[in-house]
Amino acid sequence: MTKQSTQAPLAIAQLTAKKIVVLGAGLTGLSCVRYLIKNGLACAVNDSRSNAILVESFENEFPDTALVLGDWDKALINSADILLVSPGIDTSISDIANQINQHCIVAGDVELYCQNHNTPILAVTGSNGKSTVVSLLAFIGEQLGKRVELGGNIGVPVLEQSEKELDCLVLELSSFQLETLQSMNAIAATVLNVSDDHLDRHKTLENYAKIKQNIYPQCQTAVINREDTYTTASSHENIISFGSGSAKEGSFGLETIAGKVQLMFGSTSLIGVNELPIAGLHNAMNCLAALALGYSAGWSLTGMLDHLVNFNGLPHRCQLVSQYNDVQWINDSKATNVGATLAAIAGLSATISPENNLYLIAGGDGKGADFLPLQSVIAKHVAKVYTLGKDGDKIASLVNNPIQVHSIEAAVCHVSKSAQAGDVVLLSPACASIDMFKNFAERGKVFIDAVKSIQHGQCIEAIKGRNV
């Protein structure tokens, strides 16, 4: 049930006489340039950032390719037959949209790949859990002896994989990538979940969900989350579902057997949640999604389960970084939206004894998100909230007796004085990190370092000369 392209094809052989402009000089844009040159095609590159790349470095690698930095070159864009757009670039802004001529094809690197390669693909999108699911799939595939690589929104750009002979390419796809993708023919694809994210670009949750669902017409089997109506694929001919409830035959779910929660395939028990290598019920759902995708590709369920238990998880995604003083310190810095934090709280609170507490550190750049869904969940499951960053005060306004700080170090310092054995301290910001850090990884490292400091008796309550 693959959607056929309505655009003129991007087959390499038909691009020789076309004027190609690459928008964006980051990793994705440069991978496009390399791919085009390798295939005997010329292009020009334009980026609105003056410091997007070192000019000398670019000229050394691409001496015959024009580079324009510092603004969107309206004349260059207007002259293009093909615009290859990096995912972070919004083509709806007037400086770009008003210049695109009516005959121009606007596409991304994944679309270019899919029109020129027939590699078997498993594709994953969703607001939360994408990187965990694709990394788990790649790990299991490799352990099963398959030639598997990651691409898309994780690892290297997909065009860097173009010369490899693969049994399976596992793609993580963002909503930005799906905006310019229509020719993928994946074995199976999933929308894991949909929650407020990137609404500064997509405007409404409904529009954001529609973009995510664009993955389904481009796959042979749709893997859906039956508990999230925004992941629906009702018109698809082949559907496998997963969810936290009991599963019908042919689908995946959870069920309590003899007092223990089990991952299920129909009525068949697969593995206990307590045996999974990644914590929280939300990660049990991620495991179900990965198993459903692998099953759709013909991978043995028994073989997948044998290797699933050896997966170590990903940094900054509900990562246990310390059990100092019998307190679990959890780094979930990758939780850059409200849905991710809701999932982390729900998933971890289910593992905490009633007499113990969950402490939350949250805040950053909310990117226009609605924080209201956090209010009832925090009230039910969280003992104390520590807020920081650009939109920390918005989260603080929703909870009782929040503690507002200027740094993660200060939050760790404060909470360390309250947390007791059996408690959980969770960094799950519900926000992007760009207001205070280079990225979520740097934010997570600051948290880890702060936890290490208290283990050495150093409670850091100041940063950059400020008392916080």
pLDDT digits (tens, 9 = 90+) for 407-439: 999 999 999 999 999 999 999 999 999 999 999
Counting Cβ atoms within 10 Å, is residue 334 exposed (0-12), middle (13-18) or buried (19+)? Answer: buried
Average pLDDT for the chain = 91
Question: Does residue 17 have a pLDDT over 90?
Answer: yes
For residue 447, pLDDT beyond 50:
yes
Q: What is the DSSP string of 156-203?
A: S-GGGGTTS--SEEEEE--HHHHTT-----EEEEEE----S-SHHHH-
| Residues tagged active-site | 130, 153, 198
The pLDDT tens digits for 384-396 are 999 999 999 999 9
| Mean pLDDT, residues 99-123 | 96
All structural domains of the chain = 14-107 (3.40.50.720), 113-308 (3.40.1190.10), 319-467 (3.90.190.20)
Adjacent-strand bridge partners of 272 = 262
In b/e form, how buried is each residue of 4-43, taking b as 16+ CB within 10 angstroms?
A: eeeeeebebeebeebebbbbbbbebbbbbbbbbeeeeeeb
Q: In what order do the strands lie in the sheet with 268-272?
A: 148-152, 168-172, 121-125, 186-191, 219-225, 239-242, 252-257, 260-265, 268-272
- Residues 97-108: tens digit of each pLDDT: 999 999 999 999
Query: In the prediction, which pLDDT does 460 show?
Result: 66
pLDDT band at 199 (very low <50, low <70, confident <90, very high): low
The pLDDT of residue 141 is 97
pLDDT, position 275: 87
CB atoms within 10 A of CB 381: 16
Global pTM value = 0.77
